[in-house]
Amino acid sequence: MSGSGADRRIPHKDTQTRFRMSIEEKTSQTLKDLGAGTAEAIGELFAEVSAALEKEREEFVARGAGDERERSQSAKDLRDRWLARKSGLVSLIDENWLKKAPKELKPAVGRAFNQFRQRAKSVDTESLLCDVGQPEAGAKQGNLQFASASTESDRVEVSARGGLDLTLPGHRRSLGSIHPVTQVMREIEEIFLGLGFSIESGPEIESVYYSFDALNIPESHPARDEWDTIYVNSETVLRPHTSPVQIRAMEKHGAPLYILCPGKAYRHDNPDSTHATMFHQVEGLAVDTDISFADLKGTLDYFAKKFFGDKIKTNFSPSFFPFTEPSGELAISCVFCGGAGCRVCKESGWVEVMGCGKVHPEVLRHGGIDPERYSGWAFGLGVERFAMMKYDINDIQLFHQGDVRFLEQF
């Protein structure tokens, strides 16, 4: 029948109800549940949460300075609402929208989430308190009114009596800078978040199983010797790499999977200009159908050019790692001599920066993924090494000594 309701276009139920949902309700559901199946719908969702964040920040600022204790508590409450590690709205968006997004939408969600996460820094406690600022001269402090001390002569009189002039601006502590290793780690994360990867973390005190057995590293391998790995007991170690996070992520999320695993690692090394017992790693893992070594090469070539500059060239050479097969080493044209040859690159024009390869089928099995259906590739790099190259630093120990003269340069 031409006039029947069957001929009308009825919006998806989730699309109808989405606009009546609160921010908390939206961030607790997946994009599929919200009916957001296009890049345009994703953009609308992120625009909504961005507007909500900005509105709450403006309301906090508009309330004014108020009592210092009340102001600090309100700033902390707003910060925790958005940025709390487990229950914050940003973490919920990461968990429910980005990590659970369909493969074809991950790049769009990753880019939008990356931009939103930068905006969310405006509700950090320090930023909020800076936006509110110090109380203006002549304002009430508790039950006292200091309008009578508003002139310069009055201030001099107060000072002469040895009293405290509360109409003068307060003294702020000078803010420090972000540690260079943290800066480099965040820069690496931003590049891969833009490619649709998500961030995973895991325990630093790890079992021998996740550190070695699940990664196809047999008991006879040198890495399992106590002179290379720091053992807590016979079954527990300080993780020698962040690779255990990959196994845990495969067990938790299954496939397809695109993750980045940044964090600390520990080795039984003698400290010198290029070695430290604690250092930072970033490892990446991609598991999906129909992906090859060519995808790995293209991704790492893109990453190297984004991090070091468009003029950087990349070179892959065969290598061996028990957890990948085939395995390779990525080298880049020397950032110091441009490939002409110097002391840093040992006159070769190339500097090795990371290992990589196709994930070994045994590793996929330990992660609960069928290697007959899925394949994967992985890579790992040392953050301090990248920081040393980026900032032309010749001693890794400088990162861990806490020398203010060194840190002030960043």
Amino acid at 88: G
pLDDT classification of 134: cutoffs 50, 70, 90:
very low
pLDDT classification of 66: cutoffs 50, 70, 90:
low
Q: Domains of the chain (ranges plus CATH)?
A: 13-132 (no CATH), 180-407 (3.30.930.10)
Phi, psi of 13 (to 5 degrees): -55, -40
pLDDT greater than 90 at residue 315 = yes
Q: Which residue has the higher pLDDT, 405 or 304?
A: 304
C-alpha distances out from residue 102 to 254, 335, 371, Å: 13, 38, 21
Sorted by sequence, the CB contacts under 8 Å of residue 256 that are 6+ apart come out as 103, 287, 288, 289, 374
The pLDDT of residue 104 is 86
pLDDT greater than 50 at residue 135 = no
C-alpha distances out from residue 227 to 186, 222, 231, 277, Å: 32, 9, 9, 12
Burial of residue 287 (number of CB atoms within 10 Å: 0-12, 13-18, 19+): buried
Write out pLDDT tens, residues 86-118.
788 998 998 889 888 888 888 888 888 888 988
**DSSP assignment string, 254-311:** -SSEEEEEEEEEE-----SSS--SEEEEEEEEEEESS--HHHHHHHHHHHHHHHH-TT
Phi, psi of 296 (to 5 degrees): -60, -45
Q: Which two tokens stand for residue 229?
A: 């790995």
Q: Which two tokens stand for residue 244?
A: 């255990």
Rg for the chain, CA atoms, rounded: 27
Q: What is the mean pLDDT of residues 303-317?
A: 93
Q: Which two tokens stand for residue 121?
A: 């820094």
Write out pLDDT tens, residues 326-367.
999 999 999 888 888 888 888 899 999 999 999 999 999 999
Sorted by sequence, the CB contacts under 8 Å of residue 402 that are 6+ apart come out as none
pLDDT-wise least confident of 43-52, 118-127, 236-245: 118-127
Q: Which two tokens stand for residue 48?
A: 């909504």
